[in-house]
């Protein structure tokens, strides 16, 4: 018993040291019964109040990772701590501090938006005001409509509303805006920024890199079950991947120059050509460009095993 | 809110949803009422059931079928309703969503049981009302018969609800739930004396049916609603209320253990 006691004391000490971290993941692994390894040694932390975007192609291990942190799946290796608790043993008090927006589901929806939110609000010790949440997701006019009569994008907003109704300290958003039109997505971003302002910690997975760039403070890129890069949204991929490109045309054709000093190049061109260069562009790689470069550079990124497909469908 | 208060809130919510589902209303709530009406009308010209050679001492078709339909209603409201309902909720993501909230499992089950109890009491009340008002069935007037009615009903509905929870684990998907559950429930109704007179079934089939709870619920209800003389055609010539209590009690305990061992919010991978 003695060594075990020592270990506990050590862990408690760790928790104190990391009290401002809402999520701590160390060498996380998940191997399914069929032998397929979906998550292969991932480590990252999320600070209190931070928005962390987890990016990666389909089947890369994003959903498995987020579902382990939500307590839906048991890990097969490594450590995970969410709000100071091992998600494998999270009780009701722990769940009351979380908000979970799963990937879209197909519930029958025989209740109205307001009935559903008022009902779920009753589960939590300190819920938000139901009508304020309905207004925040832009469904005030649909409050008395049964959920099954809503469009896909409107149902998704109900999912988000249910995720935030309990005033969560940590919010999981698993591909929250799939199926939104551009206007709805921009409104949704506004809602998430409001939650960020209130200090909510957010773990976001998304296929939309502009969304990650708009909302995220930091991002991690997963491919083939491994974390291939992690960093601030405006630094991920490293200096190389982010080197601006200057493009222009002249009599001899199109030119392109990668440079860390684009203004200098433009000034040089201006003086050399004695005027405005044709088709001048200065391009800073977007998060999407950086991401595609990262994933393409990772050999294992495109494989998708049957077990993985089964898991995606489950 | 504590787990009990939340459970009562769930019961209100679940009952509201129950009555918004057309297929559930017909195949679970109204089904025994519709069947009682059909049998009562169809056999109304066939003479009284159980009449002696002199044509006396018999009862109407409605009176004869009432106990079986009440028993069937208990089975449908408990087993069929919950087994399908929970399997569908597991398939469509309802349970997964609830699993991510601080809703206690106990509250979820109080809600389910409350919904079963409310809808089933309404169903039985409607059956009794239609039998007595529309078809002129004479209901018992003494406390002893109603006392038996209450305990057979409560034991029957509790056992049915628990078995429904246990059976909800069998369908692999929400879409297959009705296809898996309804045949089980339907076969039981045919061999347990709901639609066919139990005493006319072959003895071996009677013995098979005696393993399952529906036969005993129907038998208990026959004691309550049929004249005492009808006991001659029961197995052994007695109402055997002790047997009703024992068999239903065994299924209740078995159902609680099975539900307790098998219920999961979601199918967690290994």
pLDDT tens figures, A93-118 = 999 999 999 987 778 889 999 999 99
Pairwise CB contact (< 8 Å): B100 & A74: no
Using a CB-CB distance cutoff of 8 angstroms, which residues of chain A are in contact with residue B17? 110-111
pLDDT-wise least confident of A83-92, B54-63, B116-125, B138-147? B54-63
Searching chain B, which residue's CA lies closest to the CA of residue A168? B101
- Cα separation, B159 vs B256, whole angstroms: 8
* pLDDT for the residue A83: 96
- CA-only gyration radius of chain B, Å: 19
Pairwise CB contact (< 8 Å): B268 & A71: no
State the best of A65, A96, A111, A123 to mutate against chain B, taking most chain B CBs within 10 Å: A123
Pairwise CB contact (< 8 Å): B102 & A74: no
Using a CB-CB distance cutoff of 8 angstroms, which residues of chain B are in contact with residue A119? 9, 13
Pairwise CB contact (< 8 Å): A123 & B101: yes
pLDDT of A34 over the 80 cut: yes
Instruction: Report the interhelical angle of B31-42 vs B61-75 (nearest 10°).
Output: 160
pLDDT of A159 over the 50 cut: yes
Pairwise CB contact (< 8 Å): B102 & A100: no
Searching chain B, which residue's CA lies closest to the CA of residue A106? B92
pLDDT of B179 over the 70 cut: yes
Considering all CA atoms of chain A, what is the largest pairwise distance in Å, rounded to the nearest integer?
82
The ipTM estimated for the assembled molecules is 0.90
**Does any CB of chain B come closer than 8 Å to the CB of residue A314?**
yes
pLDDT greater at residue A24 or residue A1: A24
CB burial readout B31-49, b (16+ within 10 A) else e:
bbbebbbebbeebeeeebb
Distance from CA of B95 to the nearest CA of A (A): 10
pLDDT of B79 over the 60 cut: yes
CA nearest to A98, candidates A63, A123, A117: A123
A51-55 and A218-223 as β-strands: parallel, antiparallel, unpaired? parallel
- Cα separation, B14 vs B20, whole angstroms: 10
- The continuous run of DSSP H or E covering A239 comes out as helix A238-241
Using a CB-CB distance cutoff of 8 angstroms, which residues of chain A are in contact with residue B86? none
Distance from CA of B137 to the nearest CA of A (A): 38
pLDDT greater at residue A237 or residue A19: A237
Summarize the confidence of residues A74-85 as an average pLDDT. 95
Searching chain B, which residue's CA lies closest to the CA of residue A91? B102
Using a CB-CB distance cutoff of 8 angstroms, which residues of chain A are in contact with residue B87? none
State the best of A64, A90, A108, A118 to mutate against chain B, taking most chain B CBs within 10 Å: A108
**Does any CB of chain B come closer than 8 Å to the CB of residue A203?**
no
% of chain B residues with pLDDT over 70: 96
Report residue A239's pLDDT band, with 50, 70 and 90 as the boundaries.
confident
Distance from CA of B123 to the nearest CA of A (A): 22
Report residue B107's pLDDT band, with 50, 70 and 90 as the boundaries.
very high
Q: Which SS3 state, helix, strand or coil, does residue A303 take?
A: coil
Distance from CA of A97 to the nearest CA of B (A): 9
- Cα separation, A64 vs A72, whole angstroms: 9
Residues whose CB falls within 8 Å of the CB of residue B49, separated by 6 or more in sequence, listed in order? B43, B58, B59, B60, B61, B63, B64
Residue numbers of A between 110 and 169 with CB closer than 8 Å to B: 110-111, 115, 119-120, 122-125, 146, 162, 166
């Amino acid at each position: 018993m003695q060594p075990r006691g020592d270990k506990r004391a050590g862990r408690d000490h760790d928790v104190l040291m990391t009290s401002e971290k809402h999520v701590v993941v160390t060498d996380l692994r998940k191997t399914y019964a069929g032998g397929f390894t979906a998550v292969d040694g991932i480590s990252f932390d999320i600070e209190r109040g931070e928005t962390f975007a987890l990016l990666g192609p389909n089947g890369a291990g994003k959903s498995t990772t987020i579902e382990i942190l939500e307590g839906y799946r048991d890990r097969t290796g490594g450590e995970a701590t969410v709000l100071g608790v091992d998600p494998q043993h999270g009780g009701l008090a722990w769940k009351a501090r979380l908000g979970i927006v799963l990937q879209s589901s197909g519930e029958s929806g025989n209740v109205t938006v307001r009935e559903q939110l008022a009902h779920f609000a009753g589960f939590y010790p300190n819920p938000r005001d139901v009508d304020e949440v309905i207004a925040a997701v832009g469904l005030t006019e649909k409050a008395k409509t049964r959920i099954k009569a809503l469009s896909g994008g409107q149902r998704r907003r109900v999912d988000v509303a249910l995720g935030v109704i309990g005033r969560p300290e940590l919010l999981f958003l698993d591909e929250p805006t799939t199926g939104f039109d551009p206007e709805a997505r921009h409104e949704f971003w506004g809602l998430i920024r409001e939650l960020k302002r209130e200090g909510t910690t957010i773990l976001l997975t998304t296929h939309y890199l502009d969304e990650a760039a708009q909302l995220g403070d930091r991002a991690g890129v997963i491919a083939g079950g491994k974390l291939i890069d992690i960093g601030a949204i405006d630094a991920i991929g490293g200096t190389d991947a982010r080197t601006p490109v200057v493009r222009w045309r002249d009599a001899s054709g199109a030119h392109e120059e990668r440079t860390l000093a684009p203004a200098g190049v433009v000034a040089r061109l201006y003086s050399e050509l004695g005027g405005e260069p044709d088709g001048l562009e200065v391009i800073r790689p977007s998060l999407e460009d950086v991401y595609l470069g990262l994933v393409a550079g990772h050999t294992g990124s495109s494989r998708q095993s049957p077990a993985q497909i089964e898991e995606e469908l489950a | 809110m504590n787990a009990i208060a939340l459970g009562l809130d769930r019961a209100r919510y679940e009952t509201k949803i129950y009555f918004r589902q057309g297929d559930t209303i017909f195949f679970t709530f109204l089904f025994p009422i519709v069947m009682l009406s059909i049998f009562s009308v169809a056999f109304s010209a066939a003479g009284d059931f159980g009449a002696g050679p002199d044509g006396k001492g018999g009862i109407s078709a409605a009176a004869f079928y009432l106990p079986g339909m009440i028993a069937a209603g208990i089975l449908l409201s408990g087993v069929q309703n919950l087994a399908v309902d929970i399997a569908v909720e597991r398939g469509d993501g309802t349970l997964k969503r609830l699993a991510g909230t601080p809703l206690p499992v106990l509250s979820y089950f109080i809600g389910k049981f409350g919904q079963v109890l409310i809808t089933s009491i309404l169903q039985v009340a409607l059956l009794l009302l239609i039998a007595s008002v529309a078809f002129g069935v004479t209901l018992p007037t003494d406390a002893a018969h109603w006392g038996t009615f209450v305990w057979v009903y409560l034991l029957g509905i509790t056992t049915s609800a628990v078995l429904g929870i246990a059976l909800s684990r069998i369908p692999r998907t929400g879409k297959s739930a009705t296809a898996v559950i309804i045949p089980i429930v339907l076969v039981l109704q045919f061999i347990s004396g709901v639609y066919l007179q139990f005493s006319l079934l072959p003895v071996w089939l009677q013995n098979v049916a005696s393993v399952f709870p529906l036969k005993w619920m129907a038998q208990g209800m026959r004691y309550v609603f049929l004249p005492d003389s009808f006991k001659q055609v029961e197995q052994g010539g007695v109402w055997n209320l002790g047997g009703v209590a024992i068999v239903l009690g065994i299924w209740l305990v078995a159902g609680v253990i099975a539900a307790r061992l098998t219920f999961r919010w979601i199918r967690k991978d290994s």
